[in-house]
Chain A
């Protein structure tokens, strides 16, 4: 069973640029959630994709967008990068069923630095 993978591991961008982060979900999982983790803080929910549609969103501006593909892998896109976007971006996959806890399995994250 393949776990959740993310690419790239590290990324350095400059303010105003755009970035795309990628996530491959664990085998059998159809849902991907993205979280932003600032240094020394807990992860903050960005959004979730279920069967290729956005299924819920946290308090992040529209310049944070995403996609989910038919194979359930996902991309997180951030436009007009700001210095505060520097963080670890975590992807988590799951196979939710109604009434369940939606146990999420995390990838190793992508460390984004905005200069």
Chain B
């Protein structure tokens, strides 16, 4: 079974600064996908960034980037130039590729509440 752990219940950052959210996971599989989702107070779960395990290059989406360390099973999210609209709960999530016994369920961490202060 796969597990995802986020060890930071809450984080805060000043507007325009950089913050890093941590995530570790456990799996015996070699091929999988990792995601960071954002859930603002509106509750809508929004995909921020994805990483494919077989790709060594870290994913980047505008101000969001990841540090993927496969051997350490670590997947952190860096938010640069933080904006007030980044205030939300952030979830790290894991999924196996479809096929075999995998039907594509997401396994989420417990979440990190990020507050961006003006």
Which residues in B have their C-beta under 8 angstroms from that of A44? Answer: 108
Chain B proximity mask over A39-79: 1 for CB below 8 Å, otherwise 0: 01111110010100001101000000000000000000000
Q: Are A98 and B108 neighbours in the complex by a CB distance under 8 Å?
A: no
Q: Are A33 and B33 neighbours in the complex by a CB distance under 8 Å?
A: no
A41–B9 Cα gap in the complex (Å)?
A: 10
Which residues in B have their C-beta under 8 angstroms from that of A21? Answer: none
Which residues of chain B from 35 to 68 have any CB-CB distance to chain A below 8 Å in the complex?
42-47, 50, 52
Chain B: residues with Cβ within 8 Å of the partner, total of 26
Asked if B99 is an interface residue, CB under 8 A from chain A, the answer is yes
Give the residue of A35, A40, A102 whose beta carbon is less than 8 angstroms from that of B104. Answer: A102
Contacts A42-B91, A42-B111, A90-B45 hold; do A104 and B97 have CB atoms under 8 A apart? Answer: no
Smallest Cβ distance from B105 to chain A, in angstroms?
4
Q: Are B97 and A100 neighbours in the complex by a CB distance under 8 Å?
A: yes
Which residues in B have their C-beta under 8 angstroms from that of A104? Answer: 104, 106
Smallest Cβ distance from B98 to chain A, in angstroms?
5
Which residues in A have their C-beta under 8 angstroms from that of B4? Answer: 42
Name the residue of chain B whose CB is nearest to the CB of A40. B111
A53–B106 Cα gap in the complex (Å)?
A: 19
Contacts A42-B91, A102-B98 hold; do A108 and B42 have CB atoms under 8 A apart? Answer: yes
Smallest Cβ distance from B101 to chain A, in angstroms?
9
Which residues in B have their C-beta under 8 angstroms from that of A56? Answer: 103-105
Which residues in A have their C-beta under 8 angstroms from that of B97? Answer: 99-102
Which residues in A have their C-beta under 8 angstroms from that of B45? Answer: 43, 90, 92, 106
Q: Are B110 and A96 neighbours in the complex by a CB distance under 8 Å?
A: no
A58–B44 Cα gap in the complex (Å)?
A: 22
Chain B proximity mask over A6-19: 1 for CB below 8 Å, otherwise 0: 00000000000000
Smallest Cβ distance from B1 to chain A, in angstroms?
10
Asked if A97 is an interface residue, CB under 8 A from chain B, the answer is yes
Give the residue of B42, B91, B98 whose beta carbon is less than 8 angstroms from that of A100. Answer: B98
Smallest Cβ distance from B55 to chain A, in angstroms?
12
